[in-house]
Each structure stands twice: as structure tokens, then as C-alpha cells.
Structure 1
């Protein structure tokens, strides 16, 4: 192991982490550091795995496995991260300030445990060492491999309900540090601007050209194309997910609730027996339905949603009410389902941006290695995106099937909630 990775982790942070486990009398005897992800490194942070040899207070020697999240070192990645602000500091506030309060309301939440969290680094338990694993190994695994199963999805919504319920009775905008809620990560932050630019790119280089092919010589398509190019497309999506006491509970939502940000423990038959949520850098205060539509529109296809969606929302409502355990139940299924249906518009907008990238492998980050500057030199990639997407639509059966389902579905949702 070269020293360059080892130098990226401060020994003082490692010492603080192991002391959180063993107490103040333990000592570090040595440590090693390597890349932390078995598949793809994160886009907005560098993930490292630290193996620490510890002398415990009773004189024994133990090895501790830790995950370290810190700012990336690759210049191109750093430049991209600047669009999001200091997400390490934001996630640090979540772990150091928000999570302890949540756990006062509901102990043993299904959230990765952080041992050290400040503005420069987060050191967490190593879930892989504890038997948890990411189900998809890449973005393409989600779309092309169809990794989501009903048992996985049901466990996800039940565990998500536990987190949401733990936050439901708190006035977060009043009790949290002002720097956490002074901007909304989906409504008025740098992250919003970055996503809006990315959405516009996907719409004009992938979605609209394919839409024209699907609806060749259909005059009514013009109004949809005009709408996809308008600012109202995104602003209407944001309007549909901000806090609204008339659309169900306002809670702390994960904000980036997709299958890659969940880790599962499986039994011998590959059925889920436990799970943890990771990556809380864009946690926000908003409608509970936000996480649900985001999850089901990024991690599942139309066929899966049509088959299981209502059962999953019912499982969420039941778990939420059971967790709060108040009479009468806070959530009524019929009312919550109506709110979910209204939030579906946000789901299709997110899907129009993200789904193409789950299939266009030319833009996939390298698997099993560190991101390099070459990956972020995207001018040629972006210029070639229309041709790449057009070729994929003609030659890639799975991509064509996904677009042939997603685009008409998105148009139907927009027709119902915008043009009706």
C-alpha cells in the first residue's frame, strides 16, 4: 500500500474514532488505508477504508475497520464538488447534531453509525465488515440489471418510515443550526442549479430526440417539447415537494434515496434481514412522499411500480403509524396515497434526468478503481451524447424499452397535473 492514501487520513481522527469504541485509554498501534468502495467511488466525496490496529484498555490488541469520507483529491472531481458547497460539513451536522436527537425519539435507527463527524471528515463503522453489502455494483446494475426486488423495496420503505416517524414531531427549522436550513438543498441551493443544468442536458440530448421518434408526426407532442424546455418544468417539481402540512407529515427526508445509498444484510437465500441507509449530505425538511417517489422512480421501472407500488406505500403507512404509536393514526392510507400521486410529478422529472445514465455505459464511472481527472474531462462526451443516445435507442433493446415506457408515462403524469 502506497503512503499517499495513508496520508489522506489524520491519525487524530482515527484515534478519536477508536476511542468512541473502546474509551479514552486505548492506543493506536498502526493503520493502513485503501480505497473504500468495492465498485465505484462516490462522485462528491472520496471514500477510504482504514484498518486500525488498536491496543485496548485491557491490554489486548484488536483490529478495527472504519470507513472514512473526506473531500476528493482529484482536481476535476473537486471542481464538480464546489457546485454543491461543503457537503462533508453538512453531513457532519446531520451525524453530530440531528441524528442524536432522532435517536432520542427512536433508538436503533437504520442509519450507518458515525464515530467522528466534523467539517472535514466523517469516520463511520465499516458496514461491509459487519456483513452488509450494496446490492447494485454500478449505476447500470439498477436499470439494466433490475436489482430491486419486492422484499428489498418493502424493507426499504419500512425502515424509511422509522426514520421519518422519528422526525415527525420536531420543529426542525427552529431547533437546528441556521446554516443547515438557511437554504433548501432541492429548492434554492447550488445543488439545485447543478441538477437543473444536468436535467436540461438530458432532456435536450436524450429525452426530446427520442420523444420525437416515439411520437413521429403527432402534432400534440409540440406542447410537451415546449414545456420540457421551460423553467416551469423544474419549478413545478420543486413546488410539489416543499413543506405542506396539508399533504401529510413534513419530516426530515433523506433526499437522495436510491438503491446505491442503501446497504443490506442478506440470509443464505439472499433475502434481506437488515439494512442501513448511507449518504445524508442532502438531507432536507419536506414532505415524506419525496423520498418514496425518488426511490421508486430511480431504483425501479414502470413494470415494478405498477405491480408493487400501492403495496409498498401501504407498508410504509403501516410502519410509520406503528412507529409513532398514537391514536388516531397520524397517516390515513387514502389521503397519503393521494399525496403520493401528486408527488409523482417530481418522480418523473427525476427519472427523466437519471434513468438515461443508468443505461448509457459510455458515461459510467470506472468500476473497482479511483476516479481520475480523465473521467471529468467531459466536453467530448457531452458533444457526442446525442449520437450515443440515438445509437443506444436503435441498438440497445433494454434502453429502448425503458425510454418507450418512461417517456409516455412522464407525458401522462404531466398531462394530468399540468395540462389538465
Structure 2
């Protein structure tokens, strides 16, 4: 009889809702056959503690035999994303992230990849999902194909950023084509990370987290000589923080409309490398739970201000935007569907109009992203419910040298862009 063996790092609370019967169905779906015998199931953590806030990630290895080949033992690996039902993450229910992600993987991504004639993959395969007793999704393990995460602490260099921009442009372009073929396909994608529903309650975790980061940003910047004017403007921004956050993502009739990934930062991008030259040659996105239909400036600004090395942001921003536009235009023309091709100047306007979203990403997300791994071991949603822990952790985040260097460059940029006006 097959049983599940849990690695010691999982501790005393193994995911009992992920049972043998569930994984048997997962394997049958992956192999496209029910004629299989499970021999063993090994479950361990799939990411380091403090790397995931709203979900638990497990890496599962299943050993099995096929009825057609009973002499040989085979194995298959899967990634399981389990989203616990706890009050501290009520915004997950508000944003319907489980449903959105399931629809994206089952329906949207396969159709986008078909539009690309299967020359580009946008995400891993989803093999199984379960809503009760906890939301859980089971994906292929892309590490078996050589895909790995880059360093979130140091940020991405130009080679990585070029690859992401070109891949993002293909993702956005194919979503524009799909919207033309199926005008209602993206109606469920009206809410993203800064949805009014998710930010509605003052005492909710999401709003408290962003408010804490905003106050710490102001406390830090007002100690910097020469930043007095910007400090005053940040204070005015924070006086209406919720409205400013919502406005930074709110749709506009002027927008070019694409499907945004919605949470495009280092840990949500997997890279494959040419090992000889140690250069990235492919990228695949993961975690589409916050995808939103809207301006491409949402994804581009979020990526720029959470995931690039500072020198890339300072020196190569126009070149990256040109790469994005060239690939977007080429992909749209390749569809031969008479889709209006945005000009480079229009893309620049989209990015400029969403600079406020970049500012949010810079103070709301980058402080967490840039933390040293040694400081993130106790980062979880339960701990952040404690006010003293949250205050101490936010101060720790904003003590990052990388963060300070980045803010000293980006804040004057955001002022020039009119974000604080």
C-alpha cells in the first residue's frame, strides 16, 4: 500500500488534504493513463521559508510502475501550491485568486501558446486542482527541464531583463489577439493587486502592510539632506494612500489593453541557461493569481522597480522598452489579424501614465524582495499579524543598502514624472 513520506523540514503539520488518492489522480492526468501503480510519494518544501507569503509550496516526487512495463520503476516530480484558508489573508478571497489562477492555467495560457504556434511557453502545465478543504494546485516541476530562479536580493542584469521584456511583449501581444477572438475572455480579470476590494478595510493585512511600508519610507527619507521637498510630498501621498494606490491601477479609456501578469518580479520568473556561456536563454512565468486586464505599464513598471539591478534601471531603461516594443510589434504583425500596433511613443506614454504603480512597487514590494535571505526565515503571514513583529520587520527591510541606493535614484525620478502631484 502506497503512503506519503514527509520530509522533516515540513514539521508537525503535513498537508493532510493532499492524500494518496489525490496524487494518484494527479499522476494519471500527467501520464494520460489510469494503468499505473503508485509505489511511493515523497513530499518536501518547495521553497525556502519566507519566500512565499500567501501559499505553501511543496515539491512532490512520485515513484510508480506502468502496467505495460512492470519491471521498471519510474518517477515524476510535481510542484504543489497550497493556499491555506486563514483570516489574515482575507484579501485572497476578495480577489478570487484561486479561481483566476485556475482559469488562467487551464484556459488562457494554452490558447495564448497556440496563438504563438507553440513556439513559446508562458507557464507550467497545471495537472490538478482542489478547492476543499484548502485551495491547492499541482503543476509540472520545471526544475526537471533546467529552469531555476535568479537572485531576488541582487536583482536581474541586462541579459535577464532583455529576455523578460521580450517574453512579456509576446505574452501581452498574444493576449491582445485572444481578446479579439474571444471578447469576453478577460472579463474575470478586472481586479489586480490594488483592487478596491482588496484594499477596502483599514485593518486588513494588505492595507496595513502597505501603510506600514509607506510610513517607514517617509521616516527614512526625511532624514536625508536634500530630500526635504520629496519627503513633504510623500507625506501628502500617504494622507490619501488608499486612493492613490487604487488610482495607480484603475483602468482608463486611454489604455492599451493587455493581460498583465500582475505580480511580475524575480521569484515569479524561472530561467533556463546556456551552461557553457552562463547566459539565460529562456524564461517562463509562474503565479498568475493577480493577473489583471489593463495597461502594459502595470507589468513593466512593477518589473522595473522590483526586479532590475540599479545600474540597469539607470542606464538601460530606454533600450529595454525598445526591445519590448520591437517584440510586441513583431508579434502582433505576425498574427496577421489587423490588430492595431502601438507605436513606441504610445508604449512610452503607457509606462509614464503608470509611474505611480512603479512607485507603489518600489516602496510596497521592493523592501521585501531586497531583504537578505538570512532575515526572511521568520517572514510569514501569521507573524505579520503581530504589530510589534511587523514594525520590527519593516525597519529591518528598510535598512537594506540596496533599497536605499535604489530609492535615492528612483524618488527624484518619480517626482519628475509627477507621481506626487
- TM-score, length of structure 2 as denominator length: 0.82
The alpha carbon displacement at 1:287 in A equals: 1.0
Q: Which moved more, 1:126-135 or 1:108-117?
A: 108-117
Mark the CA change 1:21 to 1:353 in structure 2 (over 3 Å): closer, same or farther. Answer: closer
After superposition, the C-alpha distances for 1:86-117 in whole angstroms (9 at most, x for unaligned) are: 53333122212322332342334231211113
1:211 matched to 2:221? The reply is yes
1:354 matched to 2:362? The reply is no
Q: Which moved more, 1:115-124 or 1:155-164?
A: 115-124
The alpha carbon displacement at 1:303 in A equals: 3.2
Mark the CA change 1:33 to 1:167 in structure 2 (over 3 Å): closer, same or farther. Answer: same
CA distance in 2, matches of 1:38, 1:361: 12
Mark the CA change 1:320 to 1:16 in structure 2 (over 3 Å): closer, same or farther. Answer: farther
1:15-26 paired onto structure 2 within 5 Å: 15-26=24-35
Secondary structure of 1:229's partner?
helix
1:55 matched to 2:65? The reply is yes
Aligned to 2:10: none
After superposition, the C-alpha distances for 1:305-358 in whole angstroms (9 at most, x for unaligned) are: 121111111111111122222468612112211221222221012212223334
Secondary structure of 2:222's partner?
helix
Mark the CA change 1:217 to 1:411 in structure 2 (over 3 Å): closer, same or farther. Answer: closer
Q: Is the 8 A contact 1:263 1:276 kept in 2?
A: yes
Aligned to 2:145: 130
CA distance in 1, matches of 2:372, 2:144: 30
1:215-234 paired onto structure 2 within 5 Å: 215=225, 218=228, 220-221=229-230, 223-231=232-240, 233-234=241-242
Q: Is the 8 A contact 2:43 2:61 kept in 1?
A: yes
Which of 91, 101, 117 is 2:111 aligned to?
101
Q: Which moved more, 1:149-158 or 1:347-356?
A: 347-356
1:115-126 paired onto structure 2 within 5 Å: 115-119=127-131, 120-126=135-141
1:241-320 paired onto structure 2 within 5 Å: 241-244=249-252, 246-248=254-256, 250-268=257-275, 269-320=277-328
Q: Is the 8 A contact 1:185 1:192 kept in 2?
A: no
Aligned to 1:43: 53
Aligned to 2:156: 148
Which of 311, 334, 339 is 2:345 aligned to?
334
Aligned to 1:68: 80
Mark the CA change 1:375 to 1:236 in structure 2 (over 3 Å): closer, same or farther. Answer: closer
CA distance in 2, matches of 1:115, 1:36: 17
Which of 352, 356, 359 is 1:345 aligned to?
356
Q: Is the 8 A contact 1:357 1:364 kept in 2?
A: no
Mark the CA change 1:64 to 1:241 in structure 2 (over 3 Å): closer, same or farther. Answer: same
After superposition, the C-alpha distances for 1:133-157 in whole angstroms (9 at most, x for unaligned) are: 1112xx5x1xxxx231111011111
1:362-373 paired onto structure 2 within 5 Å: 364-366=375-377
Aligned to 1:401: 405
Secondary structure of 1:186's partner?
coil
- Structure 1, unaligned stretches of length 5 or more? none
Mark the CA change 1:195 to 1:40 in structure 2 (over 3 Å): closer, same or farther. Answer: closer
After superposition, the C-alpha distances for 1:240-296 in whole angstroms (9 at most, x for unaligned) are: 444445333x11111000011111111223200222111111111111121111000
Q: Which moved more, 1:282-291 or 1:116-125?
A: 116-125
**RMSD (CA atoms):** 3.2
Q: Is the 8 A contact 1:22 1:57 kept in 2?
A: no
- Structure 2, unaligned stretches of length 5 or more? 8-12
Aligned to 2:416: 412
CA distance in 2, matches of 1:244, 1:377: 35
Q: Is the 8 A contact 1:109 1:162 kept in 2?
A: no
CA distance in 1, matches of 2:339, 2:178: 19
CA distance in 1, matches of 2:63, 2:393: 48
Secondary structure of 2:75's partner?
strand
CA distance in 2, matches of 1:157, 1:261: 14
Mark the CA change 1:126 to 1:156 in structure 2 (over 3 Å): closer, same or farther. Answer: same
1:82-97 paired onto structure 2 within 5 Å: 82-85=90-93, 87-97=97-107
The alpha carbon displacement at 1:401 in A equals: 2.6
